[in-house]
Amino acid sequence: MTPIVLRVPPLLDVDGLLRSTRMPDLPLARTLLAEQLRSAMVSEDVVAGFAALPRHCFAPAHRWRSAYMDLSIRAGPAWLIRPRTIARVLDAVPRGPTLRLLEVGTGNGYQTALLAMLAAEVLTVDVSTRCLAWARPRLRALGLNNVSFAWADIVSHGIPDRGFGCVVVTRALARLPQTLTRTLMLEEAVVIAPIRGADGSQRLIRYSFRDARLLQAVDLGVCAYPEYSSA
**pLDDT value for 8:** 39
Distance (Å, rounded) from C-alpha 90 to C-alpha 119?
A: 10
With 90 as the cut, is the pLDDT of residue 86 above it?
A: yes
Residue 6 included in any domain = no
**pLDDT value for 25:** 53
173, HSE (Cβ side, Cα atoms, 13 Å): 22
pLDDT in tens, 199-217: 999 999 999 998 878 999 9
What average pLDDT does this structure show over 72-95?
Answer: 91
Instruction: Please give the residue that has the higher pLDDT: either 162 or 194.
Output: 194
With 90 as the cut, is the pLDDT of residue 103 above it?
A: yes
Residue 231 included in any domain = no
The CATH number given to whatever domain includes residue 107 is 3.40.50.150
Residue 9 included in any domain = no
pLDDT in tens, 18-28: 445 444 556 77
Instruction: Please give the residue that has the higher pLDDT: either 105 or 211.
Output: 105
Confidence of residue 184 (pLDDT cuts 50, 70, 90): confident
Q: Which of 127, 42, 122, 138 is CA-nearest to residue 85?
A: 42
Residue 219 included in any domain = yes
40, HSE (Cβ side, Cα atoms, 13 Å): 17
What average pLDDT does this structure show over 77-93?
Answer: 93
Q: How many CB atoms lie within 10 A of CB 228?
A: 21
Residue 169 included in any domain = yes
**pLDDT value for 153:** 83
Confidence of residue 177 (pLDDT cuts 50, 70, 90): confident
Instruction: Please give the residue that has the higher pLDDT: either 67 or 102.
Output: 102
**Would you state the torsion angle of the CA atoms of residues 174, 91, 70, 129, taken in this order, to the nearest 10 degrees?**
-50
Residue 1 included in any domain = no
**pLDDT value for 18:** 46
Residue 76 included in any domain = yes
Confidence of residue 157 (pLDDT cuts 50, 70, 90): confident
What average pLDDT does this structure show over 66-86?
Answer: 86
pLDDT in tens, 27-61: 777 888 888 888 888 899 999 999 888 888 888 77
Confidence of residue 6 (pLDDT cuts 50, 70, 90): very low
Q: 4 by DSSP, 3-state: which?
A: coil
34: containing domain: 14-223
Distance (Å, rounded) from C-alpha 225 to C-alpha 194?
A: 7
φ, ψ of residue 143 in degrees (nearest 5):
80, 20
Indicate the residue type of 191: V
Residue 8 included in any domain = no
pLDDT in tens, 59-75: 877 777 778 888 888 87
Domains identified in the chain, total number: 1
Distance (Å, rounded) from C-alpha 17 to C-alpha 19?
A: 5
What value does the mean pLDDT of the chain take? 83
